[in-house]
Amino acid sequence: ALCDQGLLGTTFDVVGVVDMATDADYFAYQMKYDSVHGKFKHTVTTKKSDANLAEADIIVVNGHEIKCIMATRNPEDLPWGKLGVEYVVESTGLFTEADKARGHIKAGAKKVIISAPGKGDLKTIVMGVNHTEYQASMDVVSNASCTTNCLAPVVHVLLKEGVGVEKGLMTTIHAYTATQKTVDGPSKKDWRGGRAAAVNIIPSTTGAAKAVGEVLPAVKGKLTGMAFRVPTPDVSVVDLTFLAEKDTSIKEIDTMLKNASTTYLKGILGFTDEELVSTDFVHDNRSSIYDSLATLQNNLPGEK
């Protein structure tokens, strides 16, 4: 169940979590201790029971009970109807195609939010940028990638304030992810992706720039991008190099983004003029933080 109390003040009643095992004690352990975010500051206990749905293992967070449900290759088999689930956050990375994600709907849920770029008949939504285009008839939506949620608010401001983007290249310096290897290992699809994540800078690909075109049609086909996976477990950087459609300056862009961060993108876009590094943004709940001290301008005579 979900109760909407405003754009950034949404309260969720979490009734179930899905994983490859239903061991509530392990769920509790994972919640209590995190290598990046530290110790969980709330009370976590468990209830052990039989494996059938009615008596599934339960994790209890601050007194709230959450059923631990066994994962399945077919979302239609999940007990969403029995649990009264309205919204499913699809974060496995396996069911990003709209038709596959709709298996959750067949299982009894009303809406599915994919936490990655989606494929097929669905809308890509980035909060603060195009969330007003959401319609109640949409049963499956994509919340895009983390990189898209970083880049899109900045591009949104450039368009909204009239600077425009004629063309651009996005490079993301991205923290390593769970799909990478701790030591060199097999990776037939992406040879470089099989190299040890914590000791290499690994060139990779990303569809984030293209996805921004789905969220902001005005830049569709104008942005491309690449990625580098680097040895850090959290916080990534998006470097956008672009040719503006009108004459502007760093001072003007700083002013636009700072104003947006305190008005129409407050809580989504941040602005910093301090000498910060990646770990300073761990726990930051904003989608994108603009670093004004890292912005450069390189115009030739007559260029925008």
Q: Which positions are annotated as active-site residues?
A: 146
- Residue numbers in the known binding site for D-glyceraldehyde 3-phosphate are 145-147, 177, 206-207, 229
Name which of 116, 107, 188, 101 is nearest 148 in CA terms.
116
Tokens of 15: 């009734």
Q: What are phi and psi of 2, to 5 degrees?
A: -145, 140
Rounded CA separation 163/156 (Å): 10
Kindly report the length of the chain: 304
- Residue numbers in the known binding site for NAD(+) are 19, 73, 115
Instruction: Identify whether the C-beta of residue 225 lies closer than 8 Å to the C-beta of residue 171.
Output: yes
Q: Per-residue b/e over 11-20, b at no fewer than 16 CB within 10 Å?
A: eeebbbebee
- Residue numbers in the known binding site are 19, 73, 115, 145-147, 177, 206-207, 229
Instruction: Identify whether the C-beta of residue 120 lies closer than 8 Å to the C-beta of residue 98.
Output: yes
Tokens of 53: 């749905």
Please report the beta strands in 41-128, taking only residues with DSSP state E, as ranges in sequence order. 44-47, 58-61, 64-70, 87-90, 111-114, 123-124
What CA–CA distances, in Å, run from 112 to 26, 91, 99? 26, 10, 11
Rounded CA separation 245/28 (Å): 52
